[in-house]
Structure 1
């Protein structure tokens, strides 16, 4: 990841804003209670975390990423926004991480995964780990590339080729896998396909205590 993003991180946000659709809608849909804790898995440049912290000033925010290069950019972004007291960052593998060791807490009220699963080869364990780290009544919010089922096949082929240049692979079976994992832990799962299937949106809610 560091090799891939060593240079890309400097133009990542400017170049991705045109096709990483649904990120701001995800942030608006978090609706955390006052004092909630919010973790972003695969926080990248910190773009989403800064927006989340600004949108929900009563919440504490956390971010983890496996790439030291991306985290360097994220720390700079957080500092520029004046949010170093409310956003904590750590380097970790999303397939297995210890929030107590990283952040001094056992879990989170909201967990966000935005266009990261399509970049992580072992993406299914990431979902299982995220669900495991939710507190009672907490929710997992995901947005990523969808199956483009309601878009022209030519568009899907072109998009797939373009994304492959950046080592990105849409997870067409994400809806099925997240439903199975959510059911296994007793979570309620909602899946939507906005933008004619260009993206997939998922909210998995854990039962209250």
Structure 2
């Protein structure tokens, strides 16, 4: 199935994600740790300034925000997701760890999010997207929105599935089929889109293909 099978309607996308993860949210983190590679490396490389603000686009169960809060205890954390089911799980996870007062969560669409409306912020120091680009229908708009809402010296961090450039074609075919079944579509055009956004916003770009192309990792840094 191609990315064209995705819905571009935020309301329909919300229903799709709620129905897909209404049950899976309860064991999502356990199963994903085996193949969502590079998430913790991304968090370690955020290099958040003291008292800085960190936003996760598509925060899901808040697993990544919790890890980030432990790594950067002086930072302020924010996250949003289109799925109410995931946000319910996220709030429960934060409450169990005593982190509810340290983070703000909201329901929003990645293609139109506004940190001022959602959280009362002017700009954000760090924004990250961990395996969400492949799930967001308006993924290019999401990247552009993130770039626009970064503070001077801020950075956008992305980790997601690559194109298996140096892995067997059969492995790519089988894994991509399983991903598509969960409405996940690795973005072949991601490097070109990142390059365009970096040029338009005068940002430095670092792009890496890891584990023989299984994972793509990128950082866009604002001047």
TM-score strictly above 0.5: yes
Determine the structure 2 residue equivalent to 1:197: 213
Q: 1:120-159 alignment to 2 at 5 Å? A: 120-159=136-175
Structure 1: give runs of 5+ residues left out of the alignment: none
What RMSD, in angstroms, separates the aligned Cα atoms of the two structures?
A: 0.7
| Residues 79 and 104, structure 2, Cα contact 8 Å, conserved in 1 | yes
1:111-148 CA-partner distances (Å, limit 9, x unpaired)? 01000010111211000001011010000000000011
What is the aligned length? 207
1:43-63 CA-partner distances (Å, limit 9, x unpaired)? 000000000011100000000
Determine the structure 2 residue equivalent to 1:42: 58
Determine the structure 2 residue equivalent to 1:79: 95
1:66 aligns with 2:82: yes
Determine the structure 2 residue equivalent to 1:170: 186
Q: CA deviation at 1:94?
A: 0.8
SS in structure 1 of the partner of residue 220 of structure 2 = strand
Aligned partner of 1:24 among 32, 40, 47? 40
| Residues 176 and 185, structure 2, Cα contact 8 Å, conserved in 1 | yes
1:96 aligns with 2:112: yes
Q: 1:184, 1:98 → 2: CA distance? A: 19
Q: 1:58, 1:134 → 2: CA distance? A: 19
Q: CA deviation at 1:98?
A: 2.0
Q: CA deviation at 1:170?
A: 0.4
TM value normalised by structure 1: 0.97
Q: 1:5, 1:24 → 2: CA distance? A: 22
Aligned partner of 2:135 among 91, 96, 119? 119
Q: CA deviation at 1:164?
A: 1.1
SS in structure 2 of the partner of residue 119 of structure 1 = coil
Structure 2: give runs of 5+ residues left out of the alignment: 1-16
1:57 aligns with 2:73: yes
| Residues 198 and 205, structure 2, Cα contact 8 Å, conserved in 1 | yes
